[in-house]
């Protein structure tokens, strides 16, 4: 399995910011439109960008992916260290 892409990490960052009430500024019109077109966000009652259910699920999925990648990297590191210890006399 390939590690998570930079694009997905950037998307996770944006989704988390929106979820925390720190949506991208008005200067990011293209980003707003892309998120809305992808059904990941919508304009809330107060005019702020908010996550849709799909956006929340995508955010959760990306968080799980980051956690899995981190855990896999640790397992590989532990195996490598164990292999080096076994080779050392």
Residue 48 lies in a domain: yes
pLDDT of residue 50: 94
Write the pLDDT tens digit of every residue in 14-31.
Answer: 999 999 998 887 778 888
Residue 39 has pLDDT above 80, yes or no: yes
* Domain count along the chain: 1
CA–CA separation, 70 vs 81, rounded Å? 17
55 exposure class (CB count in 10 Å sphere: 0-12, 13-18, 19+) = buried
The model's confidence at residue 64, banded by pLDDT at 50, 70 and 90, is very high
CATH number of the structural domain spanning residue 62: 1.10.10
0.75 exceeded by the pTM? yes
Residue 23 lies in a domain: yes
Indicate the range of 39-43, 67-71, 84-88 predicted with least confidence.
Answer: 84-88
Residue 6 has pLDDT above 70, yes or no: yes
Residue 75 lies in a domain: yes
């Amino acid at each position: 399995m390939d590690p998570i892409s930079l694009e997905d990490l950037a998307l996770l960052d944006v989704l988390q910011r929106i979820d925390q009430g720190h949506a991208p500024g008005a200067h990011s019109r293209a980003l707003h439109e892309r998120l809305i077109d992808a059904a990941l966000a919508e304009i809330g009652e107060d005019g702020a960008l908010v996550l849709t259910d799909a956006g929340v699920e995508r955010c959760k999925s990306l968080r799980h992916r980051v956690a899995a990648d981190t855990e896999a990297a640790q397992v590989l590191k532990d195996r490598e260290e164990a292999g080096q210890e076994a080779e050392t006399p």
